[in-house]
Amino acid sequence: MIVAPDTTALRNHIPRLKEGSRCVAFVPTMGNLHAGHLALVRQARGCADAVVVSIFVNPMQFSAHEDLNTYPRTLDADIAALESAGVDVVFTPTVKDVYPEGIEAHTAIHVPVLGDALCGKGRPSHFDGVCTVVYKLFDMVKPDVAVFGEKDLQQLLIIKRMVKDLNLAIDIQSGPTQRAADGLALSSRNQYLMQAERAVAPRLWETLKACAAELKTMAGQMDLSILDAAKATLEQEGFAVDYLELRTLSTLTVSSCLSEDCALFVAARLGNTRLIDNIQITAT
């Protein structure tokens, strides 16, 4: 496995990976890898001849009050895990390498509608930062396939729209959400949870499943008051709920029926930790 610490080193290796029209798959990460990331790597390994993984904590997607400085960084352990997973190249650029003139005046990519809802409403510059760095990484790595997890479903939908709108010849594949035995979606930020909070955290997934099951039993116009009741229950259990909403997958507009594919999206805080999750519901 090759570790490319900057774009110059990466450019030296990408043509070799692509020799003979070999297919290159890409998995972008912010490091602190867990089983969810490694599942995406396995998926990439299964659909391509070579796999590139990036490790870059992207400052452009963090607001001033967020956890950029304390975001867990475990580069040595990450590299060891990726080598065991059969990755061909690990790209570990610095902020200076990705944003040589800083991020303040850097061109940003904005995906309207999809990027303005849900997490985009409460974190208005977040998805601009995600799209910008992903586009730059795509340009550096030049993959044929890129794999993103469904745990960040809004992000996945936004990346797919960006690729479509900008005519990028990249196949965006989605990887199923990986969960702990008690149902909590795997996330690097889960380690921020205190012991008591970690015991409560699985209620987020349990609530989504229960709400989805109830919505599926309703014909025609649905009674979305069950979502208000679910939010109230979560708040009684210690969550500060940012949103719990049923949205269409095509536009992320609020839905009141299952005439097209939808998902229940939730974001909530336990203590200082912000958790997100979702469950998709097929149209009936």
- Over residues 36-48, the mean pLDDT reads 98
pLDDT per position as a tens digit, 9-27: 999 999 999 998 899 999 9
pLDDT in tens, 164-217: 999 999 999 999 999 999 999 999 999 999 999 999 999 999 999 999 999 988
pLDDT of amino acid 220: 67
Tally the domains of the chain.
2
Task: Judge if 168 and 192 occupy the same domain.
Answer: no
Whether residues 207 and 126 fall in one domain: no
3-state secondary structure (DSSP) of residue 175: strand
Strands (E) in 44-201, as ranges, are 50-55, 89-91, 145-149, 171-175
Same domain for 160 and 206? no
Q: Which of 175, 198, 217 is the last residue of a domain?
A: 175
Check which CATH number belongs to the domain holding 32 and give it. 3.40.50.620
Residue 259 binned pLDDT confidence (cut-offs 50, 70, 90): confident
**Residue 181: inside a domain:** no
Exposure string (b/e) for 266-279, b if CB count within 10 Å is 16 or more?
Answer: bbbebeebbbbbbb
Same domain as 240, residue 162: no
This model's pTM is above 0.85: yes
Measured between alpha carbons, how far is 10 from 138 in angstroms, rounded to an integer?
12
Residue 126 designated active-site: no
β-strand partners of 3: 90
Confidence class of residue 219 from pLDDT cuts 50, 70 and 90? low
pLDDT in tens, 109-129: 999 999 999 999 989 899 999
182 within some domain: no
Which is catalytic among the residues 13, 34, 37, 106?
Answer: 37
Mark whether 132 and 194 lie in a shared domain. Answer: no
**3-state DSSP: the chain helix, strand, coil percent, rounded to 5?**
40, 20, 40
Residues 223 and 138 in one domain: no
Residues 83, 220 within the same domain = no
Range of the domain at 108: 2-175
Domain closes at, from 128, 145, 175:
175
What's the average model confidence in pLDDT over 53-75?
Answer: 93
Same domain, 146 and 204: no
